[in-house]
């Protein structure tokens, strides 16, 4: 995508947000807005300039180097698999897959320090991979591509699917604290309902199938109790529990998570949170999805049907996950002469 397209996208998107506010009480206006957003972002999410093997000539050992480093890391710190997979999602959903989530600012006003990203871990692992690549091929491999490759490699390391990662992303120079918490364009929160989730994914050129497939990434990793505490203790403000959650599961979670607990972690997929499999879908169908956004997948015919399919013998989850990850990895990418290739992932050149 050319620089003129990028400028046009940013300007038009800002105008669309204004239009949304104006049409908020008009259902037809909202429908028209959604069509405009989808049309605009489908152009923005094409991933032009990306290809498998982008570094074949400039750094032929790039993917091997990433794989080697990650094999060593996973051998000693397998619990980082979930956070490192989630990092790619958090990066792509804000400003596109440009490595903006990695930037440190002295003022702590970058994405990394925004509330939804405070639970991310493994930034030092990205730095470790970057250091190894800089020794072999100085100034060649972008941090945005490292995040994408690492996400694939931790999935494989936890017995998940392998997919060919398109590379060629450039690193962005902008990272804003406010972006992840923007009510319209920010990261979908853990309490998001199915309508909000579908809108958030659609705005980025991802469909309902992508939503349920990528949610399956919750098969690895953990979540802070504070992300679902209200479901256990005060769902409607009356000291009640979430009626959509299995009551026996609630009782078990209460043993681990006490009110106002800000530090304790709970497994998103109890019993196999270090193994990439389809058990997350089984839990959700049994009303044992940990987050409200997990439980929300039961409230849409398409996502619910996929949940049921994925616990049958005809599951296509592994194949679908790779396809959706490639698709997500194309969101808002910078390529060609856009952006830069950072020498250090935490700061611009």
In the annotated binding site, the residues are 91, 96, 98, 100, 111, 188, 218-219, 269, 277
Annotated binding site for Ca(2+): 91, 96, 98, 100, 111, 219, 269, 277
Annotated binding site for substrate: 188
Distance CA 64, CA 70 (A): 10
* From 5, 44, 90, 224, active-site residue: 90
Q: Is 90 a catalytic residue?
A: yes
∠35-37-41 over CA atoms, to 5°? 120
Q: Which residues are catalytic?
A: 90
């Amino acid at each position: 995508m050319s620089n003129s397209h990028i400028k046009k996208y940013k300007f038009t998107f800002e105008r669309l947000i204004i239009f949304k506010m104006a049409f908020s009480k008009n259902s037809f206006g909202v429908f028209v807005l959604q069509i405009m957003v989808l049309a605009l972002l489908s152009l923005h999410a094409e991933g032009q300039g990306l290809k498998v093997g982008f570094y074949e000539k400039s750094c032929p050992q790039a993917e091997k180097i990433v794989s080697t480093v990650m094999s060593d890391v996973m051998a000693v710190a397998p619990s980082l698999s979930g956070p490192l997979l989630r990092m790619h999602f958090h990066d792509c959903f804000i400003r596109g897959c440009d490595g903006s989530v990695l930037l440190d600012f002295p003022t702590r006003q970058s994405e990394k320090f925004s509330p939804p990203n405070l639970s991310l871990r493994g930034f030092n692992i990205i730095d470790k991979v970057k250091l190894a690549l800089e020794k072999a091929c100085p100034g060649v491999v972008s941090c945005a591509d490292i995040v994408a490759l690492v996400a694939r490699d931790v999935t494989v390391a936890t017995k998940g699917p392998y997919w060919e990662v398109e590379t060629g992303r450039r690193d962005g120079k902008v990272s804003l604290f406010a972006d992840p918490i923007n009510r319209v364009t920010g990261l979908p929160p853990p309490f998001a309902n199915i309508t909000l989730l579908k809108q958030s994914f659609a705005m980025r050129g991802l469909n309902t199938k992508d939503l349920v497939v990528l949610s399956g990434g919750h098969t690895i990793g953990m979540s802070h109790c504070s992300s679902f505490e209200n479901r256990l203790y005060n769902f409607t403000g009356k000291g009640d529990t979430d009626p959509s959650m299995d009551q026996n599961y609630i009782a078990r979670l209460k043993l681990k998570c006490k009110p106002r607990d800000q530090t304790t972690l709970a497994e998103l997929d109890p019993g196999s949170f270090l193994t990439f499999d389809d058990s997350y879908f089984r839990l959700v169908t049994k009303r044992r999805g940990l987050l409200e956004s997990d439980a929300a997948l039961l409230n849409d015919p398409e996502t619910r049907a996929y949940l049921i399919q994925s616990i049958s013998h005809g599951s296509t989850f592994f194949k679908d996950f790779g396809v959706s990850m490639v698709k997500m990895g194309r969101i808002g990418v910078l390529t060609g002469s856009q952006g830069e290739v950072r020498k250090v992932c935490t700061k611009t050149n």
